[in-house]
Structure 1
Amino acid sequence: MAPRRIFLERRSYRMRRMMDAVRLWPLVGLGLWMVPLLWPMSGDGTGAAMPMSAALRYLFGVWVLLILGALALWWRTGRGAREDVATDPANRQG
């Protein structure tokens, strides 16, 4: 007997992956905000330290990136949900 193939509709599969991305987005942001902790510190003479201005630009850049990414994910998932409601025969009035 041949193994059963599981078929997932493309739209629902993509919507699930987008929701996974929404759930992981804060963890991505946390990881990016922790990168400055890996930068060399000054005072021990082992290397050049990262200037505070560069660190602040990095943090605010990540912050803006997180906001824009969250906006894009919100827009994508909202559009997908509207399309699902529009194509669902159970929601049709008539």
Structure 2
Amino acid sequence: MSQTDRDEASGRQQTALFVERRTYRHRRLMDLARLLPLTGALLFCVPLMWPNPDPYPAPDTSGGMAMSEAITYMFVVWTLLILASLAFGGAVRRWAENWSDGTDQPGEEAP
């Protein structure tokens, strides 16, 4: 009796150690989709941890972060999140075309 016959008789299933490349990439894209909003929310919370500017700072101390620096930071993070979502959208579009073997092109019909 071979090993596979014994596995089938005992009801155990063998699982593959490696998954197909398409499946692996699809899962990573899904992970990125889940993490992008969370990362954005955390980056938007960073200015809350900056020290408040002191209206009358001592001569040898830093006066905290200015509001203009915080607003600049927020716009930079906002722009980076937009660019990341555009890159993610392009990756999903390419993945969808490869997954369907390019049958979703205009003028082509699926078999």
1:74 matched to 2:89? The reply is yes
Change (3 A) 1:15 1:4: closer
Q: Which runs of 4+ in 1 moved over 6 A?
A: none
Shift of 1:4: 4.9
Q: TM-score by structure 1 length?
A: 0.81
Structure 2 unpaired stretches of 5+:
4-13, 104-109
Paired with 2:94 and 2:19, the residues of 1 have a C-alpha distance of 19
Shift of 1:27: 0.4
Could you say which structure has the larger radius of gyration? 2
1:63 matched to 2:63? The reply is no
Q: TM-score by structure 2 length?
A: 0.69
- After TM superposition, the structure 1 = structure 2 runs for residues 1-94 of structure 1, keeping only pairs within 5 Å, are 4-43=15-54, 47-86=62-101, 93=111
Which fold has the larger relative contact order, with Cα–Cα distance below 8 Å and residues 6 or more apart in sequence? 1
Whose helix fraction is larger, Structure 1's or Structure 2's? 1
Paired with 1:29 and 1:82, the residues of 2 have a C-alpha distance of 28
Structure 1 unpaired stretches of 5+:
none
Quick one: percent identity of the two aligned structures?
43
How many equivalent pairs are there? 90
Shift of 1:23: 1.5
